[in-house]
Structures are given as C-alpha cells and as structure tokens.
C-alpha cells in the first residue's frame, strides 16, 4: 500500500473520532509487515485534555492482537499544517515501534510530511539529549496583569501573527492562550492569561482563578502594567500573589509610546517599593519597541530544556478554538455596553469540503438577554452580517482556504453564573 492509500485509511478512521469537547478529529492508520492496516481515532473523556490519541489507539489495537511488526504509520487531522504527535504518542512509538519506521503526518488539505520514529523522540528523551549538549533553552512564561493592559497584543507581537484576540474592552481574554516562540537556541511557551480582576460573576471567578493558577506553572512571570493608566488597586492584588511564587518576575511597563519619558521613573519606583522584580523593561507591545530586548532577557533566565513543540507550531489550541475567538473578537469590536461581556461563541461545525478549497464553519453566538440578541443581529441582520464578514476573512487567513461561515444567535439567561454552561463553553473542566 502506498502512502496515499494509507493516508486515506487514516482519514476514514478520523471520521469516527469521539471528540465532543475539543471537536479536533484525528485519524491514524498503521501498516503491518503482512500488509494488514489497523486504524485508530482519538477518543476524549469529560476531562477534555485527557484523551487517547489516534496513533496510540491504532498501535495499542495492533499490540493487543499480538502484532508487533510495523512498517509505516499515517496520522491525519483537520489542522493548518500536518498534524504532530503529542509527547505521549511519541513515547509509545519509541517503545513499541521500529525506530526507522516511517511516520506520515498529514492534514485534510493535502499537506504531508514524512519522518521516522527516531526523529519523533518524546520530550523525556529530548530533555536528556539537550541536557548533555547544553545548547538549547526552553520554558514556560506567564503573562499576567490587570484587564486591558496589552497582554494579548504583546503575545501577538512576539509571535508575529495573531493567536490571541484583541479589543479595547477589558477582559477580552477568557482562556489560557499558549503561544510558542522558537529559535535555533530556545523555545519559549508564553501563556497569555485572562486579566486578573475582582470577579463580578462566576465566569469572572473562573477567569481570575485560571490566571492565578498559571503563576505556579511558569518558569518566569511577566507582570504587565499600563504606563498610561498607572498604579491601580488591582495591581496590588496581583503583587500579593506574586509574593507567594518562587519564579523570577519581570515588570513590563507597556504603552510607553503614550506617556512622557519623565513620567516613567516615578511609576517604576512605586512598583519597586512593592516588590523586588528581577528585571524592569519599559516597552510598547503595539509598536514593538524594546520587545527584542525583552526576548533577550527572557532567554537569559530560561533553564536548559527540550524543544517541547515542533519549530513551526505557534499555538497548542485547535483551529475551532481560534475560529470561535476570532468571531468573538469581532463582536467585541462592533458592540458596546454590556453586550461584549455577555457573549460566548461555540463552533458547531468546521469541515473542509472534499476536493474543494472550501471549509464550512457553523457557529452559535450565545447571549444572556433577548435585547442583546437583537443588538447582535441588527436591523434586518445587518450587524450579524458585518460580524460574519470580518470574522470570515480572518478565519480564511488562518485556514488557508475559502470559508462559508454561518452564524446563529441564541439566548441563555445568566449563562456566566452557571457552572454547567461554563463547562459546556470550555471555560471550566468537566471534573470541576
């Protein structure tokens, strides 16, 4: 069987994937020496992030049948680039498959990349290799701060492309957004968190808890403040939590393009009296000023470590998540008052048309009151059309294909205070 037919077998398996939470379908097809093809697909449980990947499903199925001689494995997903096996799958491959076995990575757009099991060493083995060579640094860097200080703008500037949505509304970011910055000498996994603030509803509590939990995961913390706004009570709330962490903390004074230089030193001195920062870096995330200097300082503080992600990967979020965020961003930009904060977006369907450069995307916009629904739809559907047009263009740029986008608006009263809805919309884990 040639690679094309093996990929087709993986694609058929992908259609059976059970992914009610991420909606990220993956299929795999394993070729044995006898010519038998054993397929697998990913299966999630209510923990969302805990699942059995397609590659492991296929390999475990073959292994349970007593088949241990494999020649090739194809893996396919609806992703912008050929799908990449996770660390656990690479570990399984390294232990149960020949080191020289071919691995064909593909996406549904027809892009493929061929490698071997040996070249897909899991993170544990990569860590040992880099520890011996002492030439590569990596780590997790949390970006924290009050709402609307420019955290997502900074992340997008570092990566050179948009993965986190932006608007002038506070509390734009609701989930942890991971951005991956890779060079020949380092890999930095940035974690953009929701703005830390005093919660007014259950969603606010979840967002703040998510941001604060991130502090314990990070090798380095970037505390971003707004030079134009100056010190606020919310900053002290964050500093109190920073005092409980052992990781180094940088103070990043953002938006220096909007204030006079003479105003910076008094502001920096005030924060230095409250906390001993490892570094203080004034910058403008929007203009890119001093961002290169920031990256140099981050590298100096990173530990030696492995390359956790492929060098061309910029985020660990699936396309569905980013598409939903892009739609929500346009709503934030086009509406005002209470509407932006009352909106959630759920991708109901995202499927590429076979043989065509076209992807169908269907999404539901959830609001809390009928009046908000009317605002988003607009007179004769005019507002919804504008939102759809703007979002479609950015989703097309992300997917690299034309997009047919359909939007619906539904009312779910007070969804921000309902744990079950917060779980359904992906803001809380199922086991919380």
- The Cα 143–Cα 179 span in angstroms is 11
Out of 55, 78, 319, 329, the active site residue is 55
Distance (Å) of CA 245 to CA 140, 248, 344, 384: 14, 8, 32, 45
- The Cα 297–Cα 319 span in angstroms is 31
Look up 394 and say whether it is catalytic. Answer: no
- The Cα 431–Cα 173 span in angstroms is 22
Longest dimension (CA), the chain: 75
Q: Which of 345, 329, 393 is nearest to 164 (CA)?
A: 329
Which residues form the catalytic set? 55
């Amino acid at each position: 069987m040639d690679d094309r037919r093996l990929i087709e077998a993986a694609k058929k398996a992908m259609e059976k994937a059970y992914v009610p939470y991420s909606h990220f379908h993956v299929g795999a097809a394993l070729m044995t020496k006898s010519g038998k093809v054993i397929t697998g697909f990913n299966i999630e449980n209510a923990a969302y992030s805990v699942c059995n990947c397609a590659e492991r499903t296929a390999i475990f199925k073959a292994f349970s049948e007593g088949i241990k001689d494999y020649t090739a494995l194809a893996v396919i997903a609806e992703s912008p680039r050929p799908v990449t096996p996770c660390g656990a799958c690479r570990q399984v491959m390294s232990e149960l498959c020949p080191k020289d076995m071919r691995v064909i990575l593909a996406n549904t757009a027809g892009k493929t990349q061929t490698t071997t099991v040996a070249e897909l060493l899991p993170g544990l083995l990569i860590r040992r290799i880099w520890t011996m060579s002492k030439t590569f640094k990596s780590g997790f860097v949390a970006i924290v701060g009050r709402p609307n200080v420019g955290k997502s703008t900074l992340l997008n500037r570092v990566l050179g492309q948009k993965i986190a949505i932006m608007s002038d509304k506070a509390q734009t970011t609701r989930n942890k957004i991971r951005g991956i910055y890779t060079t020949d000498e380092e890999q930095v996994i940035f974690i953009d968190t929701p703005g830390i603030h005093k919660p007014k509803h259950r969603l606010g509590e979840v967002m703040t808890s998510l941001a604060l939990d991130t502090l314990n995961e990070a090798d380095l913390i970037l505390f971003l403040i707004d030079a134009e706004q100056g010190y606020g009570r919310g900053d002290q709330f964050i500093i109190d939590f920073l005092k409980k962490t052992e990781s180094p903390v940088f103070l990043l004074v953002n938006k220096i393009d909007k204030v006079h230089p003479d105003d910076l030193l008094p502001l920096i001195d005030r924060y230095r009296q409250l906390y001993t920062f490892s570094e203080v870096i004034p910058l403008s995330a929007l203009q890119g000023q001093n961002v290169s200097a920031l990256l140099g300082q981050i590298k100096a503080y990173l530990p030696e470590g492995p390359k956790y992600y492929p060098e061309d990967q910029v985020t660990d979020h699936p396309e569905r998540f980013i598409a939903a965020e892009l739609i929500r961003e346009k709503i934030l930009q086009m509406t005002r008052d209470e509407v932006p904060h009352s909106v959630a977006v759920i991708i109901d369907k995202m499927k590429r048309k076979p043989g065509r450069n076209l992807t169908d995307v269907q999404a539901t916009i959830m609001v809390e009151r009928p009046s908000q629904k009317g605002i988003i739809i607009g007179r004769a559907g005019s507002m919804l059309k504008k939102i759809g047009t703007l979002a479609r263009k950015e989703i097309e740029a992300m997917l690299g294909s034309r997009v047919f986008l359909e939007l619906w608006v539904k009312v779910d009263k007070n969804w921000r205070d309902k744990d079950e809805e917060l779980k359904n919309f992906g803001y809380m884990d199922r086991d919380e």
